[in-house]
Amino acid sequence: MQLSQLFNFLLLVSPLALCRAVTSSDEAYSTYNTGCKNPLVRREWRLLPDHEKKEYIDAVKCLQALPALTSNNVPGAVTRFDDFQGIHIRQAEFIHAVGSFQHWHRYMIWIYEKALREECGYRGSQPYWDWTLDSASDSAFINSPLWNPTTGFGGNGPYVNGTFNPFFSVPERTGGGCVQDGPFSNYTIHMGPFNTTAKIPQCLRRDFAPFISTLRLTEEAVRLHHCEDTFGRYDVKVQTGITERGLRLSDAGFHAAGHLSVGGEAGQMSDIYASPGDPVFYLHHASVDHEWWKWQNVDREARLKDATGPILRFGIPLGNRTGGENITLDFMIGLSELAPMVPLRRVMDTEGDLLCYTYAREKAVYDYATGKWVAEEVSESEYEDDLEEFCENSDN
């Protein structure tokens, strides 16, 4: 492996009866909405009833059993679930530290959601993981409902001693081995590490680093991103912490922090290429998208048209590389065999002519009387008033 490729890694430090196979990506995704009339409503994982959690996990396992569509160009892809990881590996160097980072991943998560629904009979929407709810302490992170072995995704891997990276270490990492419990404990990931799409069977590994969660995924740390009033500045904060020479943890944005809190040094979630091998990737990136959706909705008229940032990876202001052009609303993104090329303008609005989903205006609150998480409604005006006061009083 070339040293430059290794540096790129450092940048981010069954119910088969439900399955319906498709024969080509054109068949699955050739038509678009003509208008969003009944948007799916995405919710935080812990607010889903247990039966809906099971339905989602069953649908993911269905994708993990269907044959791949990309095997001709992604030799390691065995299943439809692998298709998404393989395309992410192939495009990783063009979709991180660039202006279209959030747009591309929004499109990817939507196509993944469509696959769950159209190929596996899933009736729900893509859930997200609100990291702030698990950031109060190491214990809060480790005991998150997300890691429940019965109603979640299984937990950490056992601690594995050793140095997994010659350039940096993740503080207070706690795992690194194969996930031992939950629905994916026996799942075989077929690709990675790094940028290889060859077939390399391996277990799902997690290496929890709760320290990162308590430092960079608190409600205050996440909310600070929203004090920026242009997409360019907001996006810089989201992608901060990823540099050409490694990881800068002290000011990592919630994107990098979410990956590293789960993947540590040894887990797939910390691999900038192969992170979609962990099913939690999709809840993490749905949360990244949820934050962008909230930011956009503060001023929809302006922010649904606000797209900027370098086409060149690590171009200014996401890095120090000079030259190259900036993205515009006409810049094209695509998912190779999985979905056609579309201009950015078609993924700016989650309720537009292509996408058709929204997020519930609610916050998960723990009810100590019942020992359960419950939904507390948050109005748009309430959110904006609280944000304005927070930003005025913060040292941004």
**Cα separation, 9 vs 4, whole angstroms:** 9
For helices 231-239 and 101-120, give the axis angle rounded to 10 degrees: 70
**Cα separation, 314 vs 317, whole angstroms:** 8
Residue 169's pLDDT is: 79
Residue 249's pLDDT is: 78
Average confidence (pLDDT) over 183-210: 97
The yes-or-no verdict on residue 24 having pLDDT over 90 is no
Confidence band for 25, pLDDT divided at 50, 70 and 90: very low
State the pairing for strand pair 357-359/362-367. Answer: unpaired
DSSP letter for 304, please.
Answer: T
**Cα separation, 325 vs 322, whole angstroms:** 10
The yes-or-no verdict on residue 308 having pLDDT over 80 is yes
Average confidence (pLDDT) over 75-82: 98
Average confidence (pLDDT) over 11-22: 37
Q: Are 12 and 275 in contact (CB under 8 A)?
A: yes
pLDDT above 90: percentage of residues in the chain: 83
Residue 363's pLDDT is: 97
**Cα separation, 97 vs 309, whole angstroms:** 9
Q: CB neighbours of 314 closer than 8 A, spacing ≥ 6?
A: 97, 243, 244, 320, 321
Q: What tokens does 4 get?
A: 């430059």
- What kind of architecture, by CATH, is found in domain 43-179+203-393? Orthogonal Bundle (1.10)
**Cα separation, 80 vs 289, whole angstroms:** 23
Task: List the helix and strand counts (H, then E) for the chain.
Answer: 13, 10
Q: Are 109 and 128 in contact (CB under 8 A)?
A: no
Give the domain ranges of the chain. 43-179+203-393
Per-residue pLDDT of 253-274, as tens digits, reads 999 999 999 999 999 999 999 9
